[in-house]
Structure formats: structure tokens, C-alpha cells
Structure 1
Amino acid sequence: MKFLKKSKMLVAAVALMLGVSLIAGCGGGKKEEAKATDIQGTVTASGSTALLPLLKPAQEAFQKKYEKVTVNVAGGGSFTGLNQVAAGSVNIGNSDVAATGEYKDKGLVDHQVAVAPFVFIANNDVSVDNLTGQQYVDIMTGKITNWKDVGGKDQKITLVHRAKSSGSRATIAEVVLKGVEFTDNAVIQDSNGAVRSAIASTPGAIGYVDAAYVDASVKALAFNGEKYTPDAVINGKYPVYAYEHMYTKGEATGAVKAFIDYVMSSEFQDAFVAKNGFVPITKMKK
């Protein structure tokens, strides 16, 4: 009888302990859920205009998910973003280029969020559909100034592109010009959208924009016979692209971390990256 009583007491004790554990587990879940809903504050980001077509839908979707957070995203060019995040005037500096040596001691932390392909575009009256890499170099350095010299009609070439603060310009300088200087005889615009508008309204104009900005108002040109497609980038056939970076000064925390994590999440990447003209990093062949 004593043995039975002890056994019953032992079973009751174990059951009590299990009950306490289950209650604690449920309470822990509620706490985690509360943490997610309690994320609040303002996130400020500036820099790359190439990245804006991706971050605008990210901003909208994130604010619906986290109603206590306000996200403000502005352009200005990659180096503007890098300078502002390094100075602490914004939370995130968006850039088409990796932070160079002058930023190495600024405590910047890199978050690669997508791949941005760039496309050369021309006014719709231009008859040329494709240029070689060398022809692009010759046009952008001012060596070739008439479309007839690259198989087109007798028409002046007007180069439209970005200021020196632009990551798009830095990408083209590195990938296409390979260090050769741009001609000064060019029309400079402050954003991808402005470049597209200027080219669309200027006969004989040519320039480059992020792939997300290409539309029917301009003509997309092939590069060495290869038209831009996401698969062409992934398979290494189309070389004109850049990794997109979101830099923070130190490790991201709070609402800033939550926003970057959301942009990098499969939830966002699968639904928005390709749709908005970018290539998911996970698709790239290392």
C-alpha cells in the first residue's frame, strides 16, 4: 500500500511538472509574438536610385506588417547614401557599389540584398539594336559621336548618364569602361528615372539605367549580342550588373534590423525581387 501511495504521488508530481512546463511554453510563445508586434520607430534610408524600385514595395509591405514603424526611403546616389550612413544622418545607406577604402574605418556593416542588372538604352529613333563592349567604351569616352560609325544612321550621339556620386555610374565605369574616363561632353541627370526621361525625349540619345527602369519609352540595347534577361545574368552571359548593398553603421538593431531582415527574407525575395527587375542573390552562381 505504501508503495502504491508513493507511486501515485510520483505520477502526480510528474504531471504537475509537465503542466507547469506547458504553461511556461505557451507564455514564452506569447512573449515572442509580442516582441514582433512591438517593433516600432522610424527607419531612414538614402542612396542608390537603382534600388528604389525594390525598396518602395518593401517599404509598403513592411509598414503593413509592422504598423508601428515608419520607413522613409530616398535616393541621391550610392555615395550620398554611404556618406550619410557613415555620418549617422540615416540608418541605412543604399549602394550599388561596395564601400571603398575611405569607409573602412566608419564601422559600416554590409547587407547584400539583391543583384541589380544595368541596361544600355537609346532613344526609340535609334536604328541600332546592339553594340559591342568596345563600341560602348568608344561612345562613353567620346571617341565615337555619330551613330553611322556603329552601323546606324547619320545622327549625332548624345550621352545621358549620372553624376559622380552615382553607384550606377561607378558600376559602368568598373564593368564596361574598366577604369577609362567618361567624356565630359554628356548630359548629367540625378536619377535613373531622369536618365530614362531625358533619353526618351532626346533624338540620338544613349545611356544606362537599372533594368527595373526600362520601359516602352526607350529602346533596350544588347551588350555584345546578348540581351538582358535574368537568366543571362545568372548564367554569366550578361556581365553588366552590381550587387545591391544596404549598409548600417554598426550592427542593425530594432526596427532597422527588422526592415533589412524583411528585405532579405524568402517571403519578400520570392514575391518581389524578380517581379521588380532584380535578381535574387540566392540564384547567383558563386
Structure 2
Amino acid sequence: MMISRRQFLIAMGAASMAALGGRFSAMAQRRQRYVSIMGATSCIPFVKAYLPQWEHDHPGMTVAVTGGGSYAGLRALGLGQADIAMADLAPPPGFLVVPVQRYPLGRLPIVLVAGPQVGIRGLSWNQARAVFAGDIVNWRELGGANLPVIAVSRPESSGARDVMQHRILGARPFSPHCIIQLSNGAVMRTVVETPGAIGYVEATAPLREITVLTLQGTVFDPTRWQQWPLYAEPALYLRAQAPKEVKDLAAFLQSRPGRRQFGFYAASEQGFVYAR
């Protein structure tokens, strides 16, 4: 049977389109085998500790984890650049324009830390506010050593800083003279190495060679974490219409019984849908 040149070209075009469609379908399937997690650095050790188990149970799945801070993770989620955002703060109203699902990980205590040379063991709420706002410039004003107060803070993308802003400073801004460090580890190193320095870290950080200050007379005790008044509430956020594998990973991480060893306490109910 003879076919015309036009019929031949149409047939070839259809075959090419089918082949391309198959390639695009395969590419889509491959993309679905990759999960990107981004956000709060405080969550990274916990997430990375359990990923090998999940990947073992899901052959072919690859998960990449990066930091950048809570706001960076939430922004990437909203732009479709990340599948899961790790955040220890709630998205501000209007920050996300798509419905997302929230998987709480519990409470993450935030502690005030200083070098032993400052000569004090604790602060009241008002004193902490004055220190980080820059009103108190020498520790002797609080009965401590004759050393300048060097406040160390986290960047605005940090959930810990958000907690400090709302719970400690309120309407007051951080002092413009604060040293800004990007991670718990960097804050700790700066406080240890800088006479007169004070900072704040999530209690996931090793609290060695440093003074954990009391707050309003309350001592931080991991065995009595319910009594500590300063904490973030970290969670995993994903799009409400996320693929099944992404939701499965979030539920898996939330259900891990070993969260406490990473500083997360008393996770609440999963699956809360954050209103758009």
C-alpha cells in the first residue's frame, strides 16, 4: 500500500511526539524520585539522622537537605523550589500564597548563653531585653564583670531570632551593634571566644564551655523542659497537594521516637492545614 508524502510526514511527526512524550513522562517520574528539603539549620541534624532509613525503605528516592533559615525554606516552598520547608516559626500571614500542610515536631527550647567571664548567672526578662536592645553596655551595670556587653544574634531569616524578637524584645529592635552569626555553632564559638559576649541558641547545640543563663529565675533543665519559657515550635511544611512520597516522608520524620535527643519535645498533632 502506497502512502503519500504528507501521510508519511504526519506519521513521523506523531511518532516523534509520542517519543518525546515518553521522554517527558520518564523525566517527570525521575523528578518525582527526588525530594528537596530546605530551611532551619536547627532541624538538619534530626532530619539527616533518619533519612537513610527512609531512603532504604524507598529504593530510588533521593533526598537533599540544605539550610538557609526558616524564611528561606518557606520562600523556596512557596516558589516551588523545595518540596519540604523546615521552619521553627509560623509563616506570617500572606507569606505563602498556596495552601500548605504543617507537620509539628514539638517544642525546641532556646537558651541564653554567655561566657563565664561575664560574672552573672542569669537575667530577668527586662534585663534580657535591655541587653539585646543595646541599653546595657557593660556587665557591671548588672553586677557582673567590668566588660563590654557584646550581643550575638542570628539573621532575620532565623526562627530563633523570631522567638527572641517576639518573646524578649517585643516592639524593641535588636541593637544595631549585634554581631550576626548564621548558625548555632557560629554563635557558640563567638560567645566562647569573645570576652563579654552573650547570645542565644536552640538547645540542640552542645552547651559546653559556656554558661547557660537562667531566665527570670528559671534554670534550663532538659528533664523539666516544660518549665522553660522560651522556645520555638519547629515544623515541616509542604504544599497541600504535594506528591504522596513527600507527605510520606514528612509523616515518617514526625513520627520518629528519637526526636528528644535532637532537642525536640512533645510533638503535637500532625496534619494541621495552615490557612491561606
Scaled by the length of structure 1, what TM-score is found?
0.78
**Equivalent in the alignment of 1:139:** 131
> Which of 238, 247, 271 is the aligned partner of 1:248?
238
Q: How many residues align?
A: 238
Equivalent residue letter for 1:153: A
**Range with bigger deviation, 184-193 or 103-112:** 103-112
Structure 2 vs 1, CA of residues 45 and 164 (structure 1 numbering), >3 Å: closer, same or farther? Answer: same
Matched, 1:219 2:191: no
**Equivalent in the alignment of 1:184:** 176
SS in 2 for 1:79: helix
Deviations 1:228-283 (A, max 9, x none): 2245442xx32100111211122333321121111122xx1x2x211122213259
**Counterpart Cα distance in 2 of 1:261 and 1:126:** 44
> Which of 68, 72, 82 is the aligned partner of 2:64?
72
**Equivalent in the alignment of 2:100:** 108
> Which of 280, 283, 286 is the aligned partner of 2:266?
280
**Counterpart Cα distance in 1 of 2:172 and 2:247:** 38
Matched, 1:175 2:201: no
Percent identity reads 29
**Counterpart Cα distance in 1 of 2:127 and 2:191:** 18
**Counterpart Cα distance in 2 of 1:162 and 1:256:** 30
**Range with bigger deviation, 74-83 or 251-260:** 251-260
Pairing of 1:1-286 with structure 2 (within 5 A): 41-234=33-226, 237-265=227-255, 268=256, 270=257, 272-282=258-268
* CA RMSD of superposed structures (Å): 1.9
**Counterpart Cα distance in 2 of 1:202 and 1:116:** 26
**Counterpart Cα distance in 2 of 1:67 and 1:207:** 43
Deviations 1:156-176 (A, max 9, x none): 111111111111101111112
- Structure 1 unpaired stretches of 5+: 1-39
Equivalent residue letter for 2:154: R
Structure 2 vs 1, CA of residues 64 and 149 (structure 1 numbering), >3 Å: closer, same or farther? Answer: farther
Equivalent residue letter for 2:243: T
Equivalent residue letter for 1:149: E
- Structure 2 unpaired stretches of 5+: 1-31, 270-276
Equivalent residue letter for 2:221: T
Which structure's CA Rg is the greater one?
Answer: 1
Contact 2:39–2:85 under 8 Å retained in 1: yes
Equivalent residue letter for 2:159: G
Equivalent residue letter for 2:232: A
**Counterpart Cα distance in 1 of 2:57 and 2:185:** 29
